[in-house]
A and B are shown apart, each in its own frame.
Chain A
């Protein structure tokens, strides 16, 4: 698809600004989001091409503004719902209950 992910040759997307040093993960949630890929792939929930395509289907503004592991989170949620591993509202309902317990 001619998606926003297909970036080669675009202008005006800002400076690269590489920092001298950066941590492997900037936040604890990034560690956990990163580490979910291999187990979900291994459990047969999706393949890598389905995963990439789920990211490509993000709304363009979310894709450009969201950080890398937000893309991953979006793909997990999209594919787990599409493939029937969880219901469309299951995570939101679970979060609501989660908040009550906190």
Chain B
């Protein structure tokens, strides 16, 4: 079996290999292709960072919810209907004027699927995983953002079975906004900690 596969253009043999494996395992009665279809549809079309954005928006709008979210992330996230695979045990960490949080899994690519969907390629790749623990501010610079030296940067290496979601700071000028509208400000990267929410002017 050839191991010199290209990173960006998978050769035809991988496509064929996956197709053959699916067919062989179906014949063996180990998998059902219609279940695979359902899983693809779930994670490609139905579960994504909008879920996490709604969690963040509710925490911004509802102080009681925010308290529950920081005390027991799993239960508070489940209140909005998000739970399950790769989000079984959740911890939410709050950005403040003095603390900026970032998440990574240095050993593989653990990521909170129910709230953020499947991770982007860069999150799973060697450059991010190697660098963020030793040079978090350098990583932020690669994303075109920075935090002041006065802030503490906390990098959460979620290489055990807890999954982390960053609760970013609520942008100024959003007083009285609905949760739906607040959620439009919340980017995926702001919940990983490699970015910030949009400013009100960016969506109006």
- A residues in contact (CB < 8 Å) with B: 5-11, 13-19, 22, 24-29, 31-36, 38-40, 43, 45, 52, 55, 59, 61-62, 64-68, 70, 73, 76-77, 80, 85-86, 90-92, 94-95, 98-99
- B residues in contact (CB < 8 Å) with A: 1, 3-8, 10, 14-25, 28, 30-32, 35-37, 39-40, 43-44, 48, 85, 106-109, 117-118, 120-122, 124-131, 133-134, 139, 142-143, 157, 189, 194
B130–A13 touching, CB < 8 Å: yes
B30–A29 touching, CB < 8 Å: no
B108–A52 touching, CB < 8 Å: yes
How many A-B residue pairs lie within 8 Å, measured between CB atoms?
159
A73–B17 touching, CB < 8 Å: yes
B24–A16 touching, CB < 8 Å: no
User: In angstroms, how far is the closest chain A Cβ from the Cβ of B3?
Assistant: 4
A40 and B127 contact, Cβ closer than 8 Å, known pairs A18-B194, A59-B3 = no
A95–B16 touching, CB < 8 Å: yes
A9 and B133 contact, Cβ closer than 8 Å, known pairs A27-B10, A45-B30, A77-B21 = yes
